[in-house]
Amino acid sequence: MGLTFVRYILPALLVLAGFVVLFVVDGDLRWDGWAMLVGSGLALFLLNVLFRYGAKGDHDRDAEESAREYFAEHGRWPDE
């Protein structure tokens, strides 16, 4: 639940709060608040996407290592 909150709900709440600020606040401050909240929500979402993309590389390395161990033990690659 906590990970889902940080990955999806918190960025969505920040973007939503930015649009609330855009329509509720008067003056030039509304554009600053909108940009701050929407920018932080999008940055948080993209940070999570990039982290998951980078962590996927660890899985590929582990699969390659286990394939090499299988090759050393059996003399052929696992998918052959």
Q: What is the average pLDDT across 46-68? A: 87
Total domain count for the chain? Answer: 1
First CA to last CA distance, the chain: 41
Does a structural domain hold residue 18?
Answer: yes
Instruction: Express each pLDDT in 21-38 by its tens digit.
Output: 999 999 989 999 999 999
Coil, strand, or helix at residue 25? coil
pLDDT at res. 41: 97
Q: Give the pLDDT confidence score for residue 21 in this predicted structure.
A: 96
- Asked whether residue 35 is domain-assigned, the answer is yes
Q: How many CA atoms lie within 13 A of 42 on its CB side?
A: 7
Residue 79 lies in a domain: no
> Residue 45: exposed, middle, or buried by beta-carbon count in 10 A (0-12, 13-18, 19+)?
middle
Q: Which of 4-8, 31-35, 66-70 shows the highest mean pLDDT? A: 31-35
Domain, as residue range, for 15: 2-74
Entry pTM? 0.71
Predicted pLDDT at 40: 97
Is residue 32 domain-resident? yes
**pLDDT attached to residue 12:** 97
- Has residue 34 been placed in a domain? yes
